[in-house]
Amino acid sequence: METPAPPMLGKERLRRKCAVFRRAPDSNHRIGLFIFEAMTLHDKFGRQITDLRISVTDRCNFRCVYCRSADPENYREHDEILSWPELDRLARIFLSLGIRKIRITGGEPLVREGVEEYIARLHALGVEDLSMTTNGHLLAERCERLIKAGLRRINISLDSLDPAKFGRITRTKSFNTVMNSIDAAQSSRLAPAKVNAVLVRGLNDDEVESFAEFARLRGVIMRFIEFMPLDADRHWNRGLVVPAAEVHARIHARWPLEQIPHERSETARKYRFADGAPGEIGLIAPVTQPFCGHCSRIRLTADRDLYPFRGRGQRRGPPH
């Protein structure tokens, strides 16, 4: 039975509170959010929203084969993208509504000039948990500035440990640069870095054990994400999904894993190596074990749309 919706404020107050949102012209997505009298944010299923992903740009310096941000034809005009003052104002509003964690994403967030300054302003506003998802191309040289600005955690995308395959997926020659960024993050206050791999059957599922070994050698948190039907070219089908249970079984057979307790709202099931090796494994299974019931996240796109984290109606975009 559907959870009764919490009481809504008057439309006028809601409109004023969210006045800064101007919907993208082609958007038909409905924002099912309610604001309680106590000024916390809940969705229409009564889940309290505490985590916000802010996409600061739709652009990227990679050209990943499955991603909407890879194609310059999809880029919005600059005046369609939220400006820094608008993003500042939104951050203040969301913090007043109980948002405690903010993750900066893209496209690739580091391609937008001014991202360190934005992070510093968020830090000054008192965001408890500031993190970023990046493809790692520009991270090594920016790591210290980001930390100084207030960044505390980093997720780096890496879909293959094979430089040639990495090149085919991202259509770049940036494998070594990304590896250097992982090393830079690991030797900084951002350690342990989370390294995200989206597994696609027949593309990189042969690398599960190699990724696990990478976690053990580098001490990173290696996260395997099931391929979701958000790919730009709509090639997704269920046969391309590598179930998290399979990933767990394969790694566990080689290096026994022990589960680490997690918060209900966390998307990843986390594991350590039973033999005490460094590193962790995270399994994110939005297809085979949907976690939406406990989700506390929303996503703000660079062009002014607001989405549930991984929900029906989410727009196609980066899979990480």
Q: Which is nearer to ligand SF4, 242 or 302 (CB)?
A: 302
Contact positions toward ligand SF4, by CB under 6 A?
60, 62-64, 67, 69-70, 106-108, 135, 157, 170, 318, 320
Q: Residue 252: which H helix or E strand, with range?
A: helix 244-254
Rounded CA separation 197/199 (Å): 6
Rounded CA separation 179/177 (Å): 5
Q: Which is nearer to ligand SF4, 49 or 230 (CB)?
A: 230
96, 119, 187, 190 from 145: Cα distances, Å = 27, 10, 14, 12
* DSSP 3-state of 178: helix
Tell me the closest approach of the beta carbon of residue 157 to ligand SF4, in angstroms: 6
Q: Which is nearer to ligand SF4, 17 or 201 (CB)?
A: 201
147 phi, psi to nearest 5 deg: -65, -45
Tell me the closest approach of the beta carbon of residue 318 to ligand SF4, in angstroms: 4
Q: Which is nearer to ligand SF4, 99 or 242 (CB)?
A: 242
Q: Which is nearer to ligand SF4, 55 or 267 (CB)?
A: 55
Rounded CA separation 137/90 (Å): 28
Tell me the closest approach of the beta carbon of residue 23 to ligand SF4, in angstroms: 23
Tell me the closest approach of the beta carbon of residue 155 to ligand SF4, in angstroms: 11
Under 8 Å between Cβ of 137 and 62: yes
Tell me the closest approach of the beta carbon of residue 150 to ligand SF4, in angstroms: 23
CA 224, 163, 136, 314 torsion: positive or negative? Answer: negative
Token code pair at residue 9 = 């404020």
CA 101, 212, 228, 263 torsion: positive or negative? Answer: negative
Q: Which is nearer to ligand SF4, 50 or 157 (CB)?
A: 157
Tell me the closest approach of the beta carbon of residue 18 to ligand SF4, in angstroms: 27
> 254: exposed, middle or buried (C-beta count within 10 Å: 0-12, 13-18, 19+)?
exposed
Q: Which is nearer to ligand SF4, 31 or 228 (CB)?
A: 228
DSSP 82-149: PPHHHHHHHHHHHHHTT--EEEEESS-GGGSTTHHHHHHHHHHHT-SEEEEEE-STTHHHHHHHHHHH
Tell me the closest approach of the beta carbon of residue 71 to ligand SF4, in angstroms: 9
Q: Which is nearer to ligand SF4, 170 or 181 (CB)?
A: 170
Tell me the closest approach of the beta carbon of residue 209 to ligand SF4, in angstroms: 23
